[in-house]
């Protein structure tokens, strides 16, 4: 999600960073000793690390986290070592973070770890060290100590401008990743920078030191920018959950203009591809594609509204246009990051939907031949390979692919095998076959969604417009307004003009301000207790920020619903209440 990124990064960060590059071969000296994983410091830091990795949502195997005992003889603070596939942090910095005031240690750790993970996920090829990027210790040196051999030659060839760009990119993306994980990295950045300068005694005569104040100011500006984007991102995920794919795609494309990483481009493309499915005749929607957000359940009546009003040539034109736009977004994501497996799988799906099963099969085979198995995307690649094989009249090949995908645990493989065998597969059933219990308007932080008036929110002085789009030939105008009171964020998404207006209202809050739902569910509650209170969900959504349960039913002329985010421990992470008024 690279020209726009360079504009954004240069505006906030790149003029004030000095990059440092260490040896490609052996970034950690033999004298360095790693703390065992059983060490409480390692466990606490790794908990932050895993939370950031989970929020990133990339299928690739993340680097191993290690902590050097005391002070490293080779680097300062932390580093990403590509040759060892590791992110390494000093115990010295961990201890420094613990001394920060106001319980800011987790946010400081997230700031540094997000930065190092960004080096990996942004495919930065050299070993990158936060400390040396922070303040070059060898005055005037283009390459830090130990830069010899092939790695050193590569490092020496790196222009300072490119090194600054790489470090700036790591700061910007690392900040976004940490925000996704629920931390406040940029709000503590000035405090952390001051502490690092003091602790590591960087020389005031060095060029980096004179930029300390400017870097702190840049962190504040970057924080404001990311705080502006995060509410939009959250709304995009929420709209995806309720299947407003068109508006969700607009949001992700808008974010990609400022944060043009492959993830945002992929999200936009996936939303458009899902929207295209409603314009296919049911006879052509037999198989379940791995790009779907909720492969475990699909409500047949959903997504079909309006499609019956058009004849087949018009529907063909509509779905082709959506798929071509999605294809372009996936190709842009892969151009930015060729190893981004999620976009590669989605591109294969779109190629098949566009009537190009040979090209789809080639994409799937390429994934399976390279890193798909270790990256956890093999099952998805096998599913699309099987669908493409059906469309190439290779039924035995399709059966084999679906069977392998089932063995790897892909949710749609069993259904696709049933379709291949000529058996009917019920839409809207699966792991959530039991009907959810009817719900009333839900509560977040003591505020009930039924008590929120969308028109009043739009007009109030403390409300802020965070997104606006004019109508075009195919899409209505959209306005997104948000306000925060007492820790509860109210977001109104208004679509269309007078007479054809639809308002979607969301209530959300930070985890510590959620309170409890109308049926007594609280953050941290195990999933069985959630299901005891609400029944099984109507839809299960796998999204970037985790697994969501969705409950929804009519209420006094509108639709009310509850989105519950489930964490890796099968516990309630948070929830969002919503209401749809047409």
Q: For strand 464-469 and strand 478-485, is the pairing parallel, antiparallel, or unpaired?
A: antiparallel
Q: What is the CATH number of domain 242-420?
A: 1.25.40.10
Lowest mean pLDDT among 189-198, 215-224, 414-423: 215-224
Q: Which two tokens stand for residue 560?
A: 């009310």
80 forms beta bridges with 87, 128
Q: How many angstroms separate the CA atoms of 441 and 451, rounded?
A: 9
Q: Burial, 211: exposed, middle or buried (Cβ in 10 Å; 0-12, 13-18, 19+)?
A: middle
Looking at residue 216, what is its pLDDT?
67
Task: Please check whether residue 67 is in contact with residue 128, taking contact to mean a CB–CB distance below 8 angstroms.
Answer: no
For residue 260, what pLDDT is reported? 66
Total residue length of the chain: 582
Neighbours of 278 (CB within 10 A): 19
Q: Out of 121-135, 367-381, 441-455, which region has the weakest mean confidence (pLDDT)?
A: 121-135
Q: Find the helix packing angle between 262-277 and 341-353, rounded to 10°.
A: 30
Check whether 104 has a pLDDT greater than 80: yes
3-class state of residue 114 by DSSP: helix
The Cα–Cα gap between 183 and 185 comes to 6
pLDDT, position 472: 83
pLDDT value for 124:
67
Query: Cβ-count burial of 385 within 10 angstroms (0-12 exposed, 13-18 middle, 19+ buried)?
Result: buried
Cα 397 from Cα 389, distance rounded (Å): 6
Burial of residue 73 (CB within 10 Å: 0-12, 13-18, 19+) is exposed
- What is the pLDDT at residue 524? 94
> In which band, very low, low, confident or very high, does the pLDDT at 136 lie, cut at 50, 70 and 90?
very low
**Residues 6 or more apart from 319 whose CB is under 8 A from it?**
276, 277, 279, 280, 353
Residue 132 pLDDT exceeds 80: no
User: Who wins on pLDDT, 307 or 470?
Assistant: 470
Region 331-346: what's the mean pLDDT?
86
For the ranges 22-26, 157-161, 174-178, the maximum mean pLDDT occurs at 174-178
pLDDT in tens, 234-276: 899 899 888 899 999 999 998 888 776 788 888 899 999 999 9
Helix (H) or strand (E) holding 15: none
pLDDT-above-70 percentage for the chain: 75
Cα distance between residue 21 and residue 74, in whole Å: 12
Of 515 and 339, the one with more pLDDT = 515
- Give the burial string for 514-542 (b: 16+ CB within 10 Å, else e): beebbeebebebebeebbeebbbbbbbbe
Q: Sign of dihedral through CA atoms 404, 407, 410, 414?
A: positive
Q: How far apart are CA 341 and CA 334, in angstroms?
A: 9
**For residues 89 and 214, which has the higher predicted lDDT (pLDDT)?**
89
Per-residue pLDDT at 429: 38
Which of 470, 25, 546, 457 has its CA nearest to residue 237? 546
- Residue 545's CB is within 10 A of a number of other CB atoms, namely 18
- Ranking 230-239, 273-282, 290-299, 528-537 by mean pLDDT, the lowest is 290-299
Q: What is the pLDDT of residue 285?
A: 74
Helix residue spans in 99-144 (DSSP H): 105-121, 130-134
- The whole-number average pLDDT for the span 545-574 is 88
On the 0-12 / 13-18 / 19+ scale of CB atoms within 10 A, 575 is buried
Q: How confident is the model at residue 14 (pLDDT cuts 50, 70, 90)?
A: very low
Tokens found for residue 156? 């020496």
Give the SS3 label for residue 311. Answer: coil
Residue 218: what pLDDT?
Answer: 65
Structure tokens at 272: 């458009």
Q: What is the longest distance spanned by two Cα atoms in the chain?
A: 76
The overall average pLDDT reported for the chain is 79
Q: Which residues pair with 507 in a beta bridge?
A: 490, 577
Q: Is the pTM of this model over 0.75?
A: no
pLDDT band at 215 (very low <50, low <70, confident <90, very high): low
The domain locations on the chain are 3-224, 242-420, 443-581
Pairwise CA distance, residues 418 & 402, whole Å: 10
- Exposure on the CB side of residue 550, measured as CA atoms within 13 A: 27
List, for residues 544-558, the tens digit of each pLDDT value. Answer: 555 789 999 999 889
Tokens (6 digits) for 427: 């839409």
The total of other beta-carbon atoms located within 10 Å of residue 466's CB is 18
């Amino acid at each position: 999600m690279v020209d726009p990124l360079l504009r954004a990064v240069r505006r906030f960060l790149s003029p004030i960073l000095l990059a440092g590059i260490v040896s490609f071969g052996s970034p950690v000296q033999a004298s360095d000793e790693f703390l065992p994983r059983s060490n409480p410091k390692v466990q606490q830091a790794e908990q932050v690390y895993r939370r950031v990795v989970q929020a990133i949502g990339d299928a690739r195997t993340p680097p191993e986290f290690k902590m050097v005992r005391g002070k490293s003889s080779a680097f300062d603070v932390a580093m990403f070592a590509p040759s060892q596939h590791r992110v390494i942090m000093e115990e010295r910095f961990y201890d420094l973070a613990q001394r920060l005031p106001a319980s800011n240690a987790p946010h400081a750790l997230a700031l540094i770890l997000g930065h190092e993970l960004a080096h990996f996920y942004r495919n930065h090829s050299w070993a990158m060290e936060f400390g040396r990027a922070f303040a070059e210790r060898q005055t005037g040196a283009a390459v830090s100590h130990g830069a010899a051999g092939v790695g050193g030659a590569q490092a020496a060839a790196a222009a300072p401008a490119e090194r600054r760009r790489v470090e700036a990119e790591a700061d910007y993306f690392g900040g976004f990743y940490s925000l996704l994980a629920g931390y406040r990295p940029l709000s503590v950045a000035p405090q952390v920078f001051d502490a690092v300068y003091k602790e590591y005694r960087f020389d005031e005569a060095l060029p980096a030191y004179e930029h300390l104040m400017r870097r702190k100011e840049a962190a504040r500006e970057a924080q404001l920018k990311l705080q502006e984007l995060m509410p939009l991102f959250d709304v995009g995920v929420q709209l995806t959950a309720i299947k407003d794919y068109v508006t969700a795609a607009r949001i992700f494309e808008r974010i990609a203009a400022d944060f043009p990483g492959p993830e945002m481009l992929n999200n936009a493309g996936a939303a458009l591809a899902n929207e295209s499915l409603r314009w296919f005749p049911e006879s052509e929607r037999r198989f379940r594609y791995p790009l779907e957000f909720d492969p475990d359940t699909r409500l047949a009546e959903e997504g079909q509204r309006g499609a019956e009003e058009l004849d087949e040539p018009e529907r063909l034109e509509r779905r082709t246009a959506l798929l071509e736009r999605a294809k372009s977004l996936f190709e842009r994501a892969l151009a930015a990051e060729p190893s981004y497996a999620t976009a590669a799988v989605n591109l294969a799906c779109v190629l098949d939907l566009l009537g190009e099963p040979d090209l789809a099969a080639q994409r799937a085979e390429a994934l399976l031949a390279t890193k798909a198995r270790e990256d956890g995307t093999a099952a998805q690649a096998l599913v699309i390979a099987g669908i493409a094989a059906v469309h190439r009249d290779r039924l035995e090949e399709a059966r084999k692919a679906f069977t392998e995908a089932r063995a790897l645990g892909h949710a749609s493989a069993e259904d696709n095998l049933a379709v291949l065998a000529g058996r009917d597969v019920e839409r809207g059933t699966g792991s959530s076959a039991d009907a959810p219990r009817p719900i009333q308007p839900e509560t977040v932080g003591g505020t009930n969604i039924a008590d929120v008036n969308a028109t009043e929110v739009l007009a109030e002085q403390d409300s802020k417009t965070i997104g606006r789009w004019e109508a075009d030939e195919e899409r209505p105008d959209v306005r997104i307004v948000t306000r925060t009171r007492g820790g509860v964020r109210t977001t109104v998404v208004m679509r269309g003009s007078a007479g054809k207006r639809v308002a979607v209202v969301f209530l959300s809050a930070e985890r510590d301000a959620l309170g409890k739902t109308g049926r007594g569910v609280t953050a941290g509650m195990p999933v069985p207790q959630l299901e005891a209170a609400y029944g099984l969900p109507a839809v299960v959504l796998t999204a970037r920020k985790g697994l969501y349960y969705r409950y929804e039913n009519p209420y006094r002329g509108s639709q009310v619903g509850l989105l519950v985010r489930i964490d890796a421990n099968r516990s309630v992470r948070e929830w969002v209440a919503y209401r749809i008024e047409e």
